[in-house]
Chain A
Amino acid sequence: MPLRVILIYLISYVFFQTCIGQKVNVSGIVIDSASSNPLSSASVKIIDQNTSSLLAFSRTKNDGHFSTTINKQKSIRVTISYTNFFDKSIDIDEIKTDFLNLDTIILNQKIQTEMEVLVKSKLPAIRYSGDTTEYRADSFQIKAHASLEDLFNVLPGVQVNPQTGQVTHQGKTVKNILLDGEEFFEDNPRYLTKNIRADLVDKVQVYNYHPNQLINNNKDQNSKTINVTIKQDKKNVMFGKAMAGYGTNKYYDSHVMINKFKGSKKMAFVGLAGNTDKASTSDADKQISQQLDTYLGELGGTGLGTWNGDYTGVGFPNLKGGAFHYNDKSAKDNYKINGGYRIQSLGVNGSSDIKTIYYLPNQTLLFSNADNFSNHSFSNAIHSKQNIKLNKSTEIEWKTSGGVRNIKSNNHTGTTVHNQNNSILNSTNREWNYSDDLKNITTNILIQKKFKKEGNALSFEFDLLALKNVIQGHLNSSTVVYDWPGENDTTLINQRKENNYNQNSIKNRISYTIKGKGTSYLTFLYSFENKNIKYRRYTYNEKNIQPEELDSLYSGNFQQLDQVNAGGINYFITKNKLSISVGTEAGNLHRQLKEKFLTIPATSKNYFSFQPFYHLNYKFSKYEFINWTYLGSTIFPSIQQTQPINNNINPLIITVGNPELKPSFHNYMSLGYVNNKIMKNHVLSLSAAGSMTKDPIVANTLVDAAGRQTTSFINISNKIYDWNSMLTYMINIPDLKTDLDIFSRLSQSKNNSYIDNLLIPQKSVQYYAGFSIRQVRPKFSFYLSPSITFFKIKTIKTANSEFKYSIYSVSAYYTQDLPAKFSLTGSTNIAVNTGESVFGKDNSMFLCGLSLQKSVLKSEALQLKLYLNDIFNSRQNIVRATGENYISQTKNSLIGRYLLFSIQWHLKNLYKQ
């Protein structure tokens, strides 16, 4: 027995000796940036990056040279400091040799006036580690009571759109923002950025992917995730703010936000009410709307519900809403819960004016559309997510959500169509008033089991969805078609519509992963999906007779049953600097269609689907890498394309189905290069992507002399090509406290469209370029971003074959601190659209806003603000869009000029556990 103990001791001793015994010599020379003279007696400290434990320290000699020895460590940070100079920290994440020479280290002298401001930045403010960028919140200067949004605005590379609140990092959209790794308000970034105080934040970590994602196929390369961590000593805190404002023309805006964090518990409440465009902080029922849009999209939409319950900045809103959030976890993360409830009432009135030019082989048509709407929605939604660790190997995640939404909408639309000679072809006057009731419930259960052999795992996913949508409305329209000069043909529609849409679907997915040699994984997948859609719509002609008469053309009782069986295999391997993932999924879609109302025979079809992919990533170094991705996918024809549902909301637009359509196959490939020169604060990223579609389904649009459009769909043998390239360059100049981003994007596509039964090949080019400058100084900050978009479409074989236009736009945002705790903020948004005189002279948008704020009390907890919206009272925004053979320009009504006075009060209360 003692012998064994001695033996174990000896073995472990030898083992530890070899592990710990390795020494590393760290050396370098420290010089002054201004004079290039060596600095003697500068302090050199080496700490462990993870524990910040001091490993060794030294002083530079008279020649500025230092040399010290440490035990071999995984990751170290070398910090050099000298009185009246800024600290310099160098992170070394992997020590490969026994000698680490850091060469010349340049220290910058502190300028007296800035010493006070920058005294905090001792450790590196920004760290890059592979795909992750980490900002230390304390290293950046922010005002008292600043929110997370204000903090984001001073982080180099991070930007928050002042209008929409959308966060971007190095030009890429940030989709998810997590708080301590957990969703906050069901992952609604706006609530999080407006609500959380910046002084509670420890670190802001930006990931290229969702951190919870294990092996990603990089299908969503253009979005990022931010995780915000709260300081250890701020885990027990209660904070919030309350704001109330009243202005001219009875505009008002108010909100209350209360948060309580207690250990791992986080609770938050948000309540808001207002009728200004700033009230758009809420998008409570966006999710249910999006869900319905996805399902109905496949049916080509019902074409009936034109509003999705959302305020997008157009028109005059009136919002009242509240939301509650709760999340908690047990001590060892064995149980996590995350949930919330939302209630919202939103009214939006407004108008929009849309002009569209269609280029046809022998004529040009101008569609003028004037829309007036008055919408209201009331919604309730509840959601919960639970994670349960049954034991070390088994984990269950259970998500449930449900919602009820009621919409009442009144729309009045007037459309006229003219040809190039300015003679009228047709005109429509339409009244469409409806109510839209939506109920939905979803459940998702994910069970993951890890096996004894590390890396081997089994996962089972179960998805359930039930959705019910009822639309009831009245359509009143009169359409005049001027077939012949002097003669006209008038169609009157006076109908009542009743739509019932029901969907139930179940999806099961099972996957098994085996770990191979080294870092390689093989995954097998199988999924089964059953989708049952019942769609009953009745249209009654409203005459003075009872009972109402059913219009058989626009009525139906449709049933769709989809069954999908799919299997797949994925392989992932990382070796040295290269990581590869490759795989494919193949399956069968069995689709049954029944129409009970009309005497159309039931059809059943089988579609085969195939989705191969590969993704390669090669790292030259930690900061420089390339990506190469290929994705192939089968695209099924939609119901709209094979068997459209007749719709007479606009009787001049008719869609004819083609049951013979075949699936088309889409190939996508992208290549990207990223270089983060961290020491010099440069980020360069280049990417190019292209796609090719085989047997594409294209629309064949026939427009007759009177401007009636009939659309049908066919497969064509010509392929459709599309490619774009992107360049983003970002530099941060610390001395000037300036961020400079340069971006450009070139897109080209080779398309084919059918117009009047003629195959028309087209080439389109879009070029977008610009730059943005952001300067953040203690008392002044500004952001300026000019850009230009150039657009050109060339159709081959036709006479009036080319059209082009440009958009010049500038957005700017600035704040200036004034004496006596006053501060001034301004924002400007300008867009000038050129080309296409058809749209008229007034093609420019000019929006400016200005606010004056004063902080009172010693703690600056109370803020008074005077805000002037749309100084020049231009009252409209302009959006251009382009399609295969058309350009459209939309002018939306905006609130316009108003003056609002508001008071905001901040609360923060730290307490002990």
Chain B
Amino acid sequence: MKKLILICVAIITIQGLYSQNFTPLFSGTIEYEKRINIVKQYSKYSKLSEDKIKRLPQYKASYFSLFFDSSKTLYQPNIQKKTNFNEWQFPAEDNIVFNDFNTSKTVTQKRLEDNFFLISDSIRQLNWHLVDETRSIAGYECRRANTMLWDSIFVVAFYSEDLPISGGPESFTGLPGMILGLVIPDEFISIYASSVTKDIQRELLKEPNKGTQTKENQLDKLIKPILSSYGKDSELYRIGMLL
């Protein structure tokens, strides 16, 4: 019996080695690690004291999961993994983004202090420029693309054509494959996939539903009164909320 199992295993393994035809992944779960260079990000907007710099870690790492099938994606914080720094709230820390590519609809839940906002709109259109550069992320070969958000913020994305869904972390979409790496150099933010698995709990692929209903272009107005007390850091939070 043991021999039989061994032979079976061997056959299956050899079979697997021989089959060169590659099948793309149409559904699964991606784990992302988001890193923010806090010192640099805050220094950009306000002057941090030497003391504070010494006290702060260089990076804040937080974790997100993205569930996807052939037409929908849900991006949300991974509550099982704790961030290394939670002294204060960061913008976009609790974002939940749901995209439906069939209907081109997006529903995003964002939080600022204790206010929740629910933004439902059409999927954001970005003008991507393809760059002849590749790198491997979480075992997938990724290609590079650049874009300018609001004509002012430079964004670099690495997407894999082996995951043929146009999704990605946060509200970044529109490439011929899943975005596994995203860098916003001006804001010192990077989001990289750490793992891609086939497993998916389909029941999780649902729209978020908590918060004040609004549109993408209305959010700026809604958060303005809250941010008025933030002083020099208000711009940092404003951009963070709108990204």
Q: Which A residues fall within an 8 A CB radius of B?
A: 41, 43-45, 47, 51-54, 57, 59, 81-84, 109, 119-120, 122-123, 136, 138
Given contacts A53-B127, A83-B22, A83-B162, contact A138 B145 (CB under 8 A): no
A136 to B133, CA, bound (A): 13
10 residue pairs from A and B, CB less than 8 Å apart: A41-B23, A41-B24, A43-B161, A43-B164, A43-B177, A54-B129, A54-B174, A57-B175, A122-B132, A138-B132
Given contacts A54-B145, A119-B134, A122-B134, contact A59 B164 (CB under 8 A): yes
Question: Is B101's CB within 8 Å of the partner chain A?
Answer: no
Known contacts A41-B24, A41-B164, A122-B143, then 14 further A-B pairs from the complex at CB < 8 Å, ordered by chain A residue: A43-B164, A44-B176, A45-B130, A47-B130, A52-B131, A53-B127, A53-B129, A54-B127, A54-B128, A54-B145, A59-B164, A83-B141, A84-B20, A109-B20
Residues of B within 8 A of A81 (CB): 161
A249 to B130, CA, bound (A): 58
A47 to B128, CA, bound (A): 10
Residues of B within 8 A of A54 (CB): 127-130, 145, 174-176
Residue of A nearest to B146 (CB): A52
Q: Which 9 A-B pairs have the closest CB atoms?
A: A57-B176, A43-B161, A54-B128, A83-B22, A123-B132, A43-B176, A122-B132, A52-B129, A41-B24
Residues of B within 8 A of A45 (CB): 130, 176
A57 to B166, CA, bound (A): 10
Query: Looking at A81, A109, A119, which has the most chain B CB atoms within 10 Å of its CB?
Result: A81
A47 to B129, CA, bound (A): 8
* Least Cβ–Cβ distance between A572 and chain B, in angstroms: 38
* Least Cβ–Cβ distance between A763 and chain B, in angstroms: 57
* Least Cβ–Cβ distance between A20 and chain B, in angstroms: 14
Given contacts A43-B164, A43-B177, A54-B175, contact A84 B130 (CB under 8 A): no
Residues of A within 8 A of B164 (CB): 41, 43, 59
A113 to B162, CA, bound (A): 21
Residue from B22, B132, B143, B145 in contact with A84 in the complex, judged by beta carbons closer than 8 Å? B22
Chief secondary structure at chain B's binding surface:
loop
Residue of A nearest to B22 (CB): A83
Given contacts A41-B164, A59-B164, A81-B161, contact A52 B177 (CB under 8 A): no
Residues of B within 8 A of A83 (CB): 22, 24, 141, 161-162
A135 to B130, CA, bound (A): 19
Q: Contact at A51–B129, with CB atoms within 8 Å?
A: yes
A52 to B133, CA, bound (A): 13
Task: Provide the B11-22 mask, 1 if CB < 8 A to any CB of A, else 0.
Answer: 000000000101
* Least Cβ–Cβ distance between A122 and chain B, in angstroms: 5
* Least Cβ–Cβ distance between B164 and chain A, in angstroms: 6
Residues of A within 8 A of B145 (CB): 54
| Chain B, 53-101, CB within 8 A of any chain A CB | none
* Least Cβ–Cβ distance between A83 and chain B, in angstroms: 5
Q: Which B residues fall within an 8 A CB radius of A?
A: 20, 22-24, 127-132, 134, 141, 143, 145, 161-162, 164, 174-177
* Least Cβ–Cβ distance between A81 and chain B, in angstroms: 6
Residues of B within 8 A of A119 (CB): 134
* Least Cβ–Cβ distance between A359 and chain B, in angstroms: 63
A47 to B141, CA, bound (A): 20
Residues of A within 8 A of B127 (CB): 53-54
A832 to B164, CA, bound (A): 63
Residues of A within 8 A of B175 (CB): 54, 57
Residues of B within 8 A of A41 (CB): 23-24, 164
Residue of B nearest to A138 (CB): B132
* Least Cβ–Cβ distance between A234 and chain B, in angstroms: 15
Residues of A within 8 A of B22 (CB): 82-84
Residue of A nearest to B166 (CB): A57
Q: Contact at A52–B130, with CB atoms within 8 Å?
A: yes
A47 to B127, CA, bound (A): 11
Residue of A nearest to B20 (CB): A84
Residues of A within 8 A of B128 (CB): 53-54
Residues of A within 8 A of B161 (CB): 43, 81, 83
Residues of A within 8 A of B23 (CB): 41
Residue of A nearest to B145 (CB): A54
Residues of A within 8 A of B143 (CB): 122
Residues of B within 8 A of A109 (CB): 20
A82 to B161, CA, bound (A): 8
* Least Cβ–Cβ distance between B155 and chain A, in angstroms: 14
Residue of B nearest to A83 (CB): B22
Residues of B within 8 A of A122 (CB): 132, 134, 143
Query: Looking at A52, A54, A59, A120, which has the most chain B CB atoms within 10 Å of its CB?
Result: A54
Residue of B nearest to A59 (CB): B164
Residues of A within 8 A of B141 (CB): 83
* Least Cβ–Cβ distance between B143 and chain A, in angstroms: 7
Residue of A nearest to B176 (CB): A57
Residues of B within 8 A of A123 (CB): 132
A826 to B13, CA, bound (A): 47
A44 to B176, CA, bound (A): 8
* Least Cβ–Cβ distance between A140 and chain B, in angstroms: 13
Query: Looking at A51, A57, A138, which has the most chain B CB atoms within 10 Å of its CB?
Result: A57
A138 to B132, CA, bound (A): 9
A52 to B22, CA, bound (A): 28
Residue of B nearest to A136 (CB): B132
A477 to B23, CA, bound (A): 89
A59 to B20, CA, bound (A): 20
A126 to B129, CA, bound (A): 21
Residues of B within 8 A of A120 (CB): 132
A809 to B130, CA, bound (A): 49
A2 to B217, CA, bound (A): 28
Residue of B nearest to A109 (CB): B20
Query: Looking at B24, B143, B176, which has the most chain A CB atoms within 10 Å of its CB?
Result: B176
Residues of B within 8 A of A44 (CB): 176
Residues of B within 8 A of A59 (CB): 164, 176
A84 to B176, CA, bound (A): 17
A120 to B144, CA, bound (A): 13
A52 to B132, CA, bound (A): 10
A695 to B73, CA, bound (A): 86
A83 to B22, CA, bound (A): 7
A549 to B57, CA, bound (A): 99
A84 to B174, CA, bound (A): 23
A52 to B127, CA, bound (A): 10
A43 to B145, CA, bound (A): 15
* Least Cβ–Cβ distance between A757 and chain B, in angstroms: 72
* Least Cβ–Cβ distance between A126 and chain B, in angstroms: 14
A576 to B217, CA, bound (A): 50
A43 to B23, CA, bound (A): 13
A119 to B22, CA, bound (A): 18
* Least Cβ–Cβ distance between B79 and chain A, in angstroms: 33
Residues of A within 8 A of B162 (CB): 83
* Least Cβ–Cβ distance between B231 and chain A, in angstroms: 32
A41 to B128, CA, bound (A): 21
* Least Cβ–Cβ distance between A42 and chain B, in angstroms: 9
Query: Looking at A43, A51, A122, which has the most chain B CB atoms within 10 Å of its CB?
Result: A43
* Least Cβ–Cβ distance between B148 and chain A, in angstroms: 11
Query: Looking at A51, A53, A119, A123, which has the most chain B CB atoms within 10 Å of its CB?
Result: A53
Residues of A within 8 A of B129 (CB): 51-54
* Least Cβ–Cβ distance between A139 and chain B, in angstroms: 9
Query: Looking at B22, B132, B134, B177, which has the most chain A CB atoms within 10 Å of its CB?
Result: B132
* Least Cβ–Cβ distance between A392 and chain B, in angstroms: 29
Residue of A nearest to B134 (CB): A119
* Least Cβ–Cβ distance between A705 and chain B, in angstroms: 76
Residue of B nearest to A54 (CB): B128
A109 to B20, CA, bound (A): 10
* Least Cβ–Cβ distance between A747 and chain B, in angstroms: 46
A51 to B174, CA, bound (A): 17
* Least Cβ–Cβ distance between A273 and chain B, in angstroms: 42
A51 to B128, CA, bound (A): 10
A43 to B130, CA, bound (A): 14
Residues of A within 8 A of B177 (CB): 43
* Least Cβ–Cβ distance between A233 and chain B, in angstroms: 12
* Least Cβ–Cβ distance between A719 and chain B, in angstroms: 58
